[in-house]
Amino acid sequence: MMPETRSVLVTGGAGFIGSHLAEALLADGKNVVVLDDLSTGQRSRLPKGARFVEGDIRRFDLEGLLKDASVDTILHYAAQIDVRKSVEDPVFDAEVNVLGTIRIAQAALAAGVTQIVFASSGGAIYGDPKGFAADENHPTNPVSPYGVAKLAGEKYLFSLAHETSLVVTALRFANVYGPRQDGRGEAGVIGIWMKKLLEGGECLINGGGDQSRDFVFVGDVVRANLGAAARRIAGVINVGTGVETSVNQLYNLVAAACGTPRPARRGPAKSGEQMRSVLDVTKSRTALGLTTLVALPDGLSRTAAWFRRAPSPA
């Protein structure tokens, strides 16, 4: 009798990061199932070879799907990722990011899943870093409902998996950018700017532009996920570059990648905006083997090349 073939489920697999993950898993020889409600994901991003199931994590029969597809590992990327939307509608944000994550954990335990890799957030959970960079033991001081919900999602996953065989890995990402970016999330400004610059439009910088972030290329995020799944590492791991880039510096790099000297227009600062975010990534180097990362100018060049080929993302 042949042994049962196990699968990997990518929730939110028709989205920006999730679609890259599904593609990489297929290339690695895995059986891949994608669950996405297509509220923001796109069918066109789904890689050939993945089994696609349309459904909302808040209501779908998750346990039935996990058992039917013999899922061994879940990469949980289905989420509400817009910080500003979380402020406008914190109830919806919590329904998706907290209650949806609880349902994933309960179904995983019932179906015998062995690992959940959870897409968490470094910048939104830590708040402004004390000292230069925030490591995994940094105090958690989220200033947005989105950050609160992501932190709650982590806590629920770890508590529900406590004293079980389920391995939970929470990857706390910096600001992820790259091809297929759709303008959501803090790093979404890269996609917004590139689209406008390549179409001859004007870009906006809010405030003085001294706000800083840690920008990590989507390919490095994929490698982090594959490493976490392969090594079955439990706990919290930052995934970023450890390099702090101001909004002004970022705009100059984006404009250079797009081949235009056009300056940005200045607008008023956004009230309550976090000023700094940079992650200490020492643990990801040792635990996940992320010793070499894509430098921001190189990653922006690759992203601009994608926007030139596909200039109209959703």
Q: Assign residue 196 the CATH number of its domain.
A: 3.90.25.10
Do 54 and 99 lie in one domain? The reply is: yes
- Is 201 within a domain? yes
Q: Which amino acid is at 177?
A: Y
Q: Is residue 232 part of a domain?
A: yes
Question: What CA–CA distances, in Å, run from 73 to 23, 59, 115, 157, 200?
Answer: 16, 20, 5, 14, 44
Question: Per the domain annotation, does 1 fall within a domain?
Answer: no
φ/ψ (deg, to 5) at 61: -75, 80
Q: Are residues 66 and 206 in the same domain?
A: no
314 lies in some domain: no
In a domain, 48, yes or no: yes
DSSP annotation of 97 reads I
Q: How far apart are CA 73 and CA 68, in angstroms?
A: 14
Query: Residue 239 belongs to what H/E stretch?
Result: strand 235-239
Its domain, for residue 142, covers: 7-176+216-240+283-287
Q: So what's the pLDDT on residue 186?
A: 62
User: Known catalytic residue: 156?
Assistant: no
Residue 141 forms part of a structural domain: yes
How many structural domains does the chain have? Answer: 2
Same domain, 65 and 208: no
Regarding whether 226 and 304 lie in a shared domain, the answer is no
Residue 12 contacts by C-beta under 8 Å, 6 or more apart in sequence? 18, 35, 36, 41, 76, 77, 78, 79, 119
Question: Cα–Cα distance between 156 and 108 in angstroms, integer?
Answer: 13
Per-residue pLDDT of the chain (314 residues; tens, 9 = 90+): 434 679 999 999 999 999 999 999 999 999 999 999 999 999 999 999 999 999 999 999 999 999 999 999 999 999 999 888 999 999 999 999 999 999 999 999 999 999 999 999 998 999 888 888 999 999 998 989 999 999 999 999 999 999 999 999 999 999 999 999 977 666 689 999 999 999 999 999 999 999 999 999 999 999 999 999 999 999 999 999 999 999 999 999 999 999 999 999 999 988 767 888 999 999 999 999 999 999 999 999 999 999 998 745 44
Separation CA 96–CA 108 (nearest Å) = 17
Whether residue 35 lies inside any domain: the answer is: yes
Contacts of 214 (CB under 8 A, 6+ apart): 122, 123, 174, 175, 240, 241, 242, 243, 244, 245, 277, 278, 279
Q: What is the CATH number of the domain that holds 67?
A: 3.40.50.720
Residues 199 and 158 in one domain: no
Same domain for 186 and 170?
A: no
Residues 73 and 143 in one domain: yes
> Residues 6 or more apart from 256 whose CB is under 8 A from it?
297, 300
Predicted TM-score of the model (pTM): 0.94
Region of residue 45 (left: phi > 0; alpha: psi -120 to 50; beta: else): alpha
Q: Judge if 106 and 222 occupy the same domain.
A: yes
In this structure, are 145 and 167 located in the same domain?
yes
* Cα distance between residue 130 and residue 150, in whole Å: 20
| 185 and 223 housed in the same domain | no
239 - beta bridge partners?
173
Model pLDDT, residue 185: 66
Q: Which of 146, 156, 177, 251 is catalytic?
A: 146
Give the residue from 65, 27, 75 showing the smallest Cα distance to 47: 27
The answer on 103 and 48 residing in a single domain is yes
**2 in any annotated domain:** no
Nearest Cα neighbor of 209 from 157, 256, 249, 179 is 249
Same domain, 143 and 193: no
